[in-house]
Amino acid sequence: MVRAYMAAAILIAAALGGCSRGGESSASAAPYGPVLVASSTAPTPPAYAPLYPGAVLESSAESNGTSSSASATITFHTTAKPSDVIAFYRHAAEVSGLDSTFSSQSGDDELFSAGRQGSEDGMQVIATPAEAGASVQLFWTGSRQR
């Protein structure tokens, strides 16, 4: 399950690499895969992966995969420390019934992922120190909430 999250996060991050910040743009679509749409507004995340309070959105991309599932990557800045951001998402996962699947710290950089057994529901958070706070990448996947 963690490998699937990591692979999806890498693919979305790679797609975001060609997208500009601020405006709307689309990543090129493969004839056999989902289209990623980048935007200056964050997609609505599921309850288990809420946007961090006071987050300043930097970029986002959402997959329009299937009608029953969705995924997105949201990059933002916050004045909180990386450890506080990870604690927030760890708590959100626990309250929502997701199990911690991976946690790592390297210096001040922190990574946390969680998922629901037998479900597509999951998230991965990477928080790194940045000027006056943290730079955060939040990736989530799961059942479409719409």
How is the chain split into domains, by residue range?
2-138
Q: Which residues pair with 123 in a beta bridge?
A: 114, 140
Tell me the per-residue pLDDT of 89-139, one tens digit each, with 9 for 90 and over.
Answer: 999 999 999 999 999 999 989 999 999 999 889 999 999 999 899 999 999
Residue 88, amino acid: F
Q: Which residues of 11-42 are buried (b: 16+ CB within 10 A; e: fewer)?
A: bbeebbeebeeeeebebeeeeeebebbbbeeb
Q: CB 87: neighbour CB atoms within 10 A?
A: 15
Q: Which pTM was predicted?
A: 0.71
